[in-house]
Structure 1
Amino acid sequence: MAARRWRPRGSGFWPVLLMRQPYGRAIASTVTYAHPAWYAAQGYQVVVVDVRGRGESGGQFRGFAQEASDGADCVRWARHLDHANGRVGTYGFSYQGLTQVLSDGSVPQDFPDALAPAHCGLDERCHWASEGGAHWWALGLGWALQLAAQGCARRSDGEGWLEIRRSLETGTFLQEGVNLLERHDPLGMGLTWLGREPAISEGWTCHQVPLELLRRPMLLIGGWYDPHLRGVLDLWRRSQAAGGDPWLRIGAWSHLNWRGGLDALQLAFFDRHLKASEVSMSPPGPLPPPLLLERLGDGAWRSPDPAAPSADAWWLRSQGLAAVRVDEGQLIPGVSTEGPADGAGACTLTLVHDPWRPLPGRGGHLGLDAGPVDRADLDARSDVACFSTPPLAEPLELFGQPELCIDVAADQASYDLCGALSVVAADGTGVRQWSTGVLRCRNNLSGLPQPRSLLFQPVLLALRPGERLRLSLGASSWPQIGVNSGDPDVAPGPVTHRHRVITLQFRLPGARLRLRSLASEGLD
């Protein structure tokens, strides 16, 4: 396999930082990290490897399936580089994050001495390809086509590369992306995932990590606006269960925008675990908190207990006009499991999804425009039901994974629930969206109300006095997920003439919004 190495000036023996990636080693993930030359100047050898079948490395690219065997080989090789001190750390995000934890090694020397995976997860279904039983549409196609274009370049297929590039630049990949993949990368991971049923685990791969590796020093990096956050939290939980003591950092970051980067933290982490002259020595520098999360809304860094989510909960109330008047639906505070005592607003709310004008998805963790956005114009649509709290009398902190439990009936066999949690400004001029969630509901053959659980992206959020929390509900989030046709014989995706109008009925008695623990299994 092809690799490029950066070394400190002068003579000596230094730890090695290893990155394995499929995008060409010259890039070296500088879209999010400092250049390897910077790490070399801090006293590290840095090696960036083209994974098998990518860049200038030989072989056929098979995606994640190849990385366990190649990973152990690369770590052993890096330990014995000239001028290496025998210690190896790994770093990288996304694909480069997962390559760090995939290993078929059997002895301690096969595993890195410290690793810093960012924005990745082990479950290809839940952490790479889908959410709530719906494929990531724009993200999934965009990434798959990027890999396909690189395959075209490797084969000197300039026409194929240009066709894919134009489709991505013009946005037509949202309609023609599947056909492009069938022509240019028919065996690739992206098309394979799109061909699998995302509502069930059968047929999908969930990678296993050796316990020894999970116990190694680990810096886990996630973002509130990154689609792989649940994968990072899963790795954190697995490491703790294996007896490890991982560091966890979650910031107001998207997949590519880290707002200044984490290189100083990463350097301190590797200095601590790779530069002590003996393993038994205390590493240099003060010990930072193992867990730090950036609070949305005010940017404060906090260390909350992941096993202790906010106890706040709200009941949904409306007289039936929450999809017509943005100020009519209410979120009624109450931690009781019996609902509002007065029973007011106990009704059914009707919402109509018109595929000719599907509700757009915007921002959040699944958007190509990932991040916080204003959604006041979306909430003003008549196919969006809004429920808001009264203006807050005092500050409020929300922490955990929001979950909406609600009974829903529909007149078609399949439909989607798409939710957003936002903060309405005290003066009412803005609606800042902080978290979103999607759920694809199938086999709705009876037309009777069925209990549904809609999970949102986890949050740590601060609200100020005068602000209001708002829940918005719709039936599409295009192009973040494909538009549901309502017809079991028509796959979700871009709208066609066969897409049906879908009428939803939300039963509000018992409908409840709450927050779940981030330390528990089943975040997906």
Structure 2
Amino acid sequence: MGAAGTLPDVAHDQRQLVLPDGVALQASCWRLRHGGPWPALLMRQPYGRALASTMVYAHPAWYAAHGYLVVVQDVRGCGDSGGNFRLFANEARDGSCTMAWLRAQPDCNGRVGCYGFSYQGLTQLLWDGPDGPDCTAPAMAGLSLQHHWCQDGRADWWVLGLAWALQLAAATCQRRGDGVAYGRIRKALHRQDFIEEGWGLLQQVDPENHLLRWWSGDWESPVAAAGLEAVLRRPMLLIGGWYDPYLRGVTALHEQSLKAGGSPRLVVGPWTHGNWHGGQLDQRQLAFFNHHLKDCPPEQPQAAVQLFDVGCGHWWRGAHWPRQALERWRLRGQGLSGVDPHAGVLLPPSGKTGAATGAGGRDRLVLDPWRPTPARGGHLDVQAGPADRHDLDCRSDVLTFTTPPLPRALILSGTVWLRLRAASEGRGFDLCCALSRVWDVDGRLQVEQLSMGVGRWLGPQAQDLAWRQVGFQPLLRTVPAGGRLRLSIALAGWPLIGINPGNGQAPHAVAAHERQVVVVEFCWDEACLELPLQQPDQAAA
């Protein structure tokens, strides 16, 4: 440290790695001007290395000033690196070559950690062999392309998927000097035209785009198993956000690391994918890397799991995810749950059997594709985060089920599940659901969306009155006594989820004028909302 706590100046240079196939990868490096060698921090990303994910992280120079060689590399086919870009396809092989190259740099002492979020999160996990990094800090990423990068409940992320695909397509156009196609993408994103026209635009300007494969069911596994097991056992700092679409990927990584014999740390805060609200994550990462790459003792003991309770505004800390007790809350509806706010009721368990008296009944719901039910906020919106859905719940194409006032505070901790029986008159339907907190302020009803869940059914089985289940985005949330919980059910969540056309085909494969009216019948007998309630001895710290 310099005078008055200022950071020392750092040097910056450009370096090149030529791969065995002749492709050259370009990297920017930062280090202290004097001293070394140092442990290295590596980020491999497709968005142009000058950005270095500074939308959420401190600049690499900040990490370098704390005694690291920081390397940010353009992956194959991106930025100034050579070759052709194909999403995740070459990262294991190229990453392993990069790791060997980096460890051989004269200003690297041989110890390497990786950091980065989203695409840069997954590149930390993809290696051809066991000689991967000594430690990793993957943020907001998962291993399954289908379940962690593209879908909830078999329903494709519509607006998020198109927006990201077009961002990468624009980079491809820029790289090949196609200003016309680049301008079309920018205009479509600016005017929001991409929501309806993005699929066709991708086919025209970037026919090799990953989304064209993914939404057609072509899932390529990017994971090199031999390298993954070693990484999962090594020190790992996992970072997730309650309003991030990749949260399930982060929690799955946590479970996989534990099963592999690792001791991962997990931090989940009230963050969206691109806004971490000053969560001091750079300081957390620096302490993590200092401990595992410099053998520095931790400044204070760190809990293995740290979760932010959005309801009470405090961090919960423990050795593992908090213990839960599952309660099954029953649904009652008599055909008016979409038009009478008091008709649909969510009933707590009672008696020895845990069943709620008076539950059951039936409802029907209709989706008009001309005016599809909208959705907002949560983890699947470009404008992610908390959302007021009072106006959405007032629509007649939304069924609502509200609890009586809660006699005690509830701490929801984990994944909520909805289980019900439903049948469509056509060959496809979606369930787009929300769990909310409801309370009155000066006679005005407030409805705050807590979590969302989506399920999709296509084909003739959609017409059977069969059991369906919908999993919600994980959460940790204290709901105070006196308030109420509400379950909302719709057949669309536009534009977060593409509109199910009702004919057995996926939304992207059907023109807007071919969408059908979707009618679904619900049977509430034995239907339930399964709430994971944190045990009272697991209070937030």
Band the TM-score falls in, shorter-chain normalisation:
over 0.9
1:38 corresponding residue in structure 2: 62
1:521 corresponding residue in structure 2: none
The answer (yes or no) to whether the contact 1:366–1:480 under 8 Å persists in 2 is yes
Instruction: Indicate which of 387, 402, 405 corresponds to 2:401.
Output: 387
Q: Is residue 162 of structure 2 the alignment partner of residue 148 of structure 1?
A: no
Residue by residue, what CA displacement relative to the aligned partner does 1:455-511 show, whole Å, maximum 9, x if unpaired?
Answer: 110111111122111110000011111101101257457872221111111111111
The alpha carbon displacement at 1:339 in A equals: 6.5
The answer (yes or no) to whether the contact 1:404–1:512 under 8 Å persists in 2 is yes
Instruction: Indicate which of 292, 310, 316 corresponds to 1:302.
Output: 316
Instruction: Indicate which of 247, 272, 277 corresponds to 1:254.
Output: 272
The alpha carbon displacement at 1:87 in A equals: 0.8
The answer (yes or no) to whether the contact 1:317–1:330 under 8 Å persists in 2 is yes
CA distance in 2 between counterparts of 1:117 and 1:104 reads 18
The alpha carbon displacement at 1:84 in A equals: 1.7
Instruction: Indicate which of 336, 346, 359 corresponds to 1:321.
Output: 336
Q: Is residue 258 of structure 2 the alignment partner of residue 240 of structure 1?
A: yes
1:312 corresponding residue in structure 2: 327
- Closer, same or farther in 2 for the Cα pair 1:224/1:7, shift >3 Å? same
2:135 corresponding residue in structure 1: 114
- Residue identity matched to 2:479: L
The alpha carbon displacement at 1:308 in A equals: 2.9
Residue by residue, what CA displacement relative to the aligned partner does 1:261-299 show, whole Å, maximum 9, x if unpaired?
Answer: 4101011100110112xxxxx734333001001112222
The alpha carbon displacement at 1:340 in A equals: 3.8
- Residue identity matched to 2:424: A
Q: Secondary structure at the match of 1:430?
A: strand
Instruction: Indicate which of 151, 161, 173 corresponds to 2:194.
Output: 173
- Closer, same or farther in 2 for the Cα pair 1:257/1:310, shift >3 Å? farther
Higher strand residue share: 2
The answer (yes or no) to whether the contact 2:135–2:231 under 8 Å persists in 1 is no
- Residue identity matched to 2:346: L
1:96 corresponding residue in structure 2: 120
How do 1:92-241 and structure 2 match up within 5 A?
92-106=116-130, 110-196=131-217, 203-205=219-221, 207=223, 208=225, 209-241=227-259
Instruction: Indicate which of 515, 528, 531 corresponds to 1:512.
Output: 528
Instruction: Indicate which of 343, 363, 370 corresponds to 1:356.
Output: 370
Q: Secondary structure at the match of 1:429?
A: strand
The alpha carbon displacement at 1:147 in A equals: 0.5
Q: RMSD in angstroms over aligned alpha carbons?
A: 2.0
- Closer, same or farther in 2 for the Cα pair 1:333/1:206, shift >3 Å? farther
The alpha carbon displacement at 1:37 in A equals: 1.1
Instruction: Indicate which of 254, 257, 275 corresponds to 2:294.
Output: 275
The answer (yes or no) to whether the contact 2:235–2:264 under 8 Å persists in 1 is yes
The answer (yes or no) to whether the contact 1:273–1:283 under 8 Å persists in 2 is no
- Residue identity matched to 1:333: P
Instruction: Indicate which of 340, 343, 346 corresponds to 1:331.
Output: 346
The answer (yes or no) to whether the contact 1:137–1:493 under 8 Å persists in 2 is no
TM-score by length of 2: 0.89
CA distance in 1 between counterparts of 2:531 and 2:86 reads 39
The alpha carbon displacement at 1:397 in A equals: 0.5
CA distance in 1 between counterparts of 2:355 and 2:142 reads 40
2:435 corresponding residue in structure 1: 421
Percent identity over the alignment is: 48
The alpha carbon displacement at 1:243 in A equals: 0.5
Q: Secondary structure at the match of 2:97?
A: helix
The alpha carbon displacement at 1:125 in A equals: 0.6
Q: Secondary structure at the match of 1:318?
A: strand
Report the more deviating stretch, 251-260 or 182-191: 182-191
> Aligned residue pairs: how many?
504
The alpha carbon displacement at 1:320 in A equals: 2.3
The answer (yes or no) to whether the contact 2:126–2:222 under 8 Å persists in 1 is no
How do 1:416-455 and structure 2 match up within 5 A?
416-427=430-441, 428-444=444-460, 447-455=463-471
- Residue identity matched to 1:126: H
Instruction: Indicate which of 447, 451, 475 corresponds to 1:459.
Output: 475
- Residue identity matched to 1:371: G
- Closer, same or farther in 2 for the Cα pair 1:516/1:73, shift >3 Å? farther
The alpha carbon displacement at 1:237 in A equals: 0.8
Structure 2 stretches lacking a partner, 5+ long: 1-24, 535-541
The alpha carbon displacement at 1:445 in A equals: 5.2
Report the more deviating stretch, 413-422 or 423-432: 423-432
CA distance in 2 between counterparts of 1:480 and 1:239 reads 31
CA distance in 1 between counterparts of 2:48 and 2:462 reads 52
CA distance in 2 between counterparts of 1:340 and 1:490 reads 37
CA distance in 1 between counterparts of 2:347 and 2:481 reads 17
CA distance in 2 between counterparts of 1:12 and 1:412 reads 68
CA distance in 2 between counterparts of 1:338 and 1:495 reads 49
Residue by residue, what CA displacement relative to the aligned partner does 1:305-344 show, whole Å, maximum 9, x if unpaired?
Answer: 43733433210112322111223211111178967454x2
Q: Secondary structure at the match of 1:270?
A: helix
1:522 corresponding residue in structure 2: none
CA distance in 2 between counterparts of 1:333 and 1:77 reads 60
Residue by residue, what CA displacement relative to the aligned partner does 1:138-196 show, whole Å, maximum 9, x if unpaired?
Answer: 11111011011001110011111111111011111111111221122111212211221
Report the more deviating stretch, 146-155 or 389-398: 389-398
The answer (yes or no) to whether the contact 2:426–2:462 under 8 Å persists in 1 is no
Q: Which runs of 4+ in 1 moved over 6 A?
A: none
CA distance in 2 between counterparts of 1:23 and 1:232 reads 22
CA distance in 2 between counterparts of 1:446 and 1:12 reads 64
- Closer, same or farther in 2 for the Cα pair 1:87/1:341, shift >3 Å? closer
Residue by residue, what CA displacement relative to the aligned partner does 1:426-454 show, whole Å, maximum 9, x if unpaired?
Answer: 43531100100111112245834111001
1:279 corresponding residue in structure 2: none
CA distance in 1 between counterparts of 2:323 and 2:191 reads 45
Q: Secondary structure at the match of 1:363?
A: coil
